[in-house]
A and B are shown apart, each in its own frame.
Chain A
Amino acid sequence: MTTMPNIELARAATAGAAEKAATKIVARDVNVYYGDKHALHDVSIDIPEKAVTAFIGPSGCGKSTFLRCINRMNDTIPICRVSGRIEIDGRDIYDRSLDPVQLRARVGMVFQKPNPFPKSIYENVAYGPRIHGLTSSKAELDEIVIMSLKRAGLYEEVKDRLGAPGTGLSGGQQQRLCIARAIAVNPEVILMDEPCSALDPIATAKIEGLIDELRENYTIVIVTHSMQQAARVSQRTAFFHLGRLVEEGPTEQIFTAPQDKRTQDYITGRFG
């Protein structure tokens, strides 16, 4: 267990150049409260563009909560209150004039459990472009659907049955369908909330490969419980603990030379 992260670090290191990339998301002093519970304390982080940033940490540490702040999904929880500042491309997303629905079109999300709509594969992918009016003709929509499915690496498997229900696919295929659905609206950022936790190792490997390809075009933030996964797919890693951001930095540094005692304890498996 303890030596695990080193195996995959070579690949992460090759992508280390991303560190120099422009900052896409800036968070400053973000606090989240669920009613009386203070769930997230003063989180400040810079997330680079066109790179994969992984959030790791034990259950209940606030990493998913922070992820959901980035596309304002927490707004849907009535008792949830967010303070602080989150900017995407320099624009405050909690600004009054900003429409959260518009924001979510720019910041896509993939959830822990694959959640395709109980509709056809085609409809699943076409829904986003349709509600945002991204296409003017059926042909254009077809193109977007096929392109999104191709990018999600699902097209070859489902091209003969685009009319079949999305819920009839296997778990890994469903999750890739959800990714295709997210990228169909052409977002800038994709948030992934433990996207592989419900999948078997082979499906996980496919998704990880896909994430690696997607980072060429998208800024990706991924929450994961698996440290191997964080090591394999991310360029930067942030470690959350008890609602605080403990440490953040290039993945190789977090896994090889953590600054904080708690990070070290966590990645060596002493708690969590």
Chain B
Amino acid sequence: MKSKVNKSAYGYLFISPFFIGYAVIGLVPILYTFYLSLTKWDGFTDPVYVGLSNYQRLLHDSFFFQTIGNTLIIWIFSIVPQLILALLLALILNEKFIRGKHFFRAVFYFPNLISAVTLGVLFSLIFDWQTGAVNKMLMNIGLLHDPINWLKDPWWSRAIAAAVTCWQYFGFNLIVFIAGMQSIPAEVFEAAEVDGATKRQMVFKITLPLLRQVFMFTFITSVIGGLQLFDGPLMLGDGPGNTARTMIMYLYETAFKAFDYSYGAATAYGIFIIIMVFTAITARASRLKE
């Protein structure tokens, strides 16, 4: 322990690449965005300083508040099944008797390789209410009499956005979990087996507790990433009465469709604060479990 303290100054050296890199490349855009949020700027004339008025507008923007709710709903609908599925599959793939692990792992990751264009075309075809495969299938097996206009229904459109997101990202969490399980030394399991532990006991007493750090990572990054949901839902549209519009979609529409860059910038910082709050809650909650 003593030497660890002595060598502590090296810590700064090891972490320096991040901060140097960020100072050179990352900081200026963020600060510039903040500056824009204090101005009125349409992208053409020079920005005019307006103080905090964009933030005041944001505080009274019911459309923005609606997007917070939408984002949380879509996120929860997608993250819960996503993590359960990923964990379950990771546990199965971690079993010795399973063959074709490489194949399955690759295939489960495929949805993450599909570009947004493909995704958009694909889902608009599958959920097209007249010719889409989903309606046709449900009507064939007699579950539906009339086709459902999926994307015109507030809850269906959110559920579909969530399903797309879940499908797109569970493979991502899956390989994080697998990597985590691989980092548990095999001796631990062997010892347990010798002691006559059952499979269930091994999962709950060894694997899951030892994955704590990995779970922490997954929870926090999924909050940060999930609240910035954008690509998938964008392809599916705003939904009826904007019910499927996420926070970042709103930011995007404000800045790049209505050319209100300054208000878009304030929205970005508003979202930043919301994400910070939810990250803090998640971090606290996952520590409590320890």
Same assembly = no
**A residues apposed to B, CB below 8 Å:** none
**B residues apposed to A, CB below 8 Å:** none
